[in-house]
Each structure stands twice: as structure tokens, then as C-alpha cells.
A and B are shown apart, each in its own frame.
Chain A
Amino acid sequence: MLHIVNKSATERNSLESCLRLATKGSAVLLIEDAVYAVTKGGTAAANIQAAMADLQIYALGPDLDARGMSARVLDGVKVVDYGGFVDLVAENNVCQSWL
């Protein structure tokens, strides 16, 4: 299963709920304002690092670039481009968007 989160973790609880409810082995793709969560030094970083034990964490590169955050990405997070986004959707038979 692929979980997609697009809301900032410091503004809404979408990411928190997603990480709590995603089952082991699932993929989580962060896009738009959600990408701030995978950057170093923030309050969401610890949650992401803990979640990486059970989940594959992805972040959309163009959204990181647009926000000036590409150089701050946590180790272990896989940065994908739009093609990688499409691949993730194609590989997973179910996608859940956390709005």
C-alpha cells in the first residue's frame, strides 16, 4: 500500500495519523508541504526516523527544491522525481491520500 501525505506536519496531524496507521512494509510518499517533515532539525524528524524501521519513506524532489529544502533531507529518505511518483503508484495496488 502507498500512503500519500501533502500537508505540513507542523500544521496538521495528517502525517502523524498516517505513520500511526500504516502497516509494516508500506510506502509513504510525502509531497507538497508534507516534504518539510523529512528535513533535519525539525520536530517531525524523530517520528520519520522511527517510522523508517517499518516503512519506506519517499519525498518528492521538485517539492523539496521549490521549498529550498533539498540539502536538508534526512538519511534513509528516498527522494523521487515525478517519474518515481508514477512508479510508486503503479507498484502499489492501493493508494491512500491523507488530506
Chain B
Amino acid sequence: MSDMMDDMEGGEGVVKKFMFVNRKAPHGTIYALEGLEVVLVSAAFDQDVSMVFVDDGVYELIKGMNTKGIEVKDFSKTYRALDGYDIEKLYVEQSSMDARGLTEADLIVDVTVLDSAEMASLMAEQDVVISY
């Protein structure tokens, strides 16, 4: 991180609610990785950040990936670093999990599971929603 950004920390800035919505499977396209990198950068600005996983986005959090065969970075491990970046609000949509035969036990990080109505109201209370 640049020194300039370190200096900005602790300043009396405005805190807004940012939601990053992940809707794409990992590896097949670059969206999931790019979205994660933006979240890591956003952590430096001390905003109220939440990450949401709906539709194929829930596939980003699957345990036990092995990407050696397709020669790409296994960034699923990086979701476990989010806690250290003080990004602790991770949400997944129940129906997206159900449609893919997944349960919380299949995921690499702790998440809060919301039904679609709860997800909708969480989305509605944000200041900024950025979608991938």
C-alpha cells in the first residue's frame, strides 16, 4: 500500500455503505478475481464494505479448489484474508446455494446466509452497489 494511502487512514472521512455483488463463477471469466481485488483496495479507505454472493457467485467460495491443471491462481484462498483487511460482512443468498446443491459447509469462509427478501432489503439500504 502506498504511504499516501496510509496517511489517509484515521482521517475524519465520510463512511458510506459499499456493497460488492459477485454473480460470476471463478476462473471462467476474470470478473471474480477483479471484483475481489477491488474489494481489497477498497479496504484501505475504511468504508462500510459488504460482499454479496448470488447466482454463480456462490461458486467463488467453494472449498478444495485445485487450479494446478488449468494453470491459474487459486484466489479462493484470498477470501480467507478478508478478515485481516477488516472486511467481515460476507453474505450469500440461500436460493442461489440451493439451486447449485450447496450448503454453508461447502464454503471456504464463514458467511451469513440470507433469503432473497433479506438480501433485497440489504441491497436497498446501501449507498453504493458495485456489481460483477
Contact = CB atoms under 8 A, between A and B. Distances in A.
A and B touching (C-beta < 8 Å)? yes
Contacts of A67: 25-27, 59, 62, 65
Interface residues of A, number: 26
A50 interface: no
A7 B24 CA distance: 11
B101 A33 contact: no
Contacts of A8: 25, 28, 56, 59
A58 interface: no
B100 A6 contact: no
Contacts of B24: 11
Interface in A51-69: 61-63, 65-69
B interface residue count range (under 10 / 10 to 19 / 20 to 34 / 35 or more): 20 to 34
Interface string A3-47: 000111011000000000000000000001100100111110100
A36 B56 CA distance: 10
B28 A6 contact: yes
Contact of A11 (B27, B56, B67): B56
23 contacts: A8-B56, A8-B59, A11-B25, A11-B56, A32-B28, A36-B25, A36-B56, A36-B59, A42-B101, A43-B99, A62-B70, A63-B69, A63-B70, A65-B68, A65-B69, A66-B26, A66-B65, A66-B67, A67-B59, A68-B64, A68-B65, A70-B66, A71-B64
The list of the 3 closest CB pairs from A to B, nearest first, reads: A41-B101, A62-B69, A33-B28
Interface of B: 23-29, 55-56, 59, 62-70, 72, 74, 76, 99-102
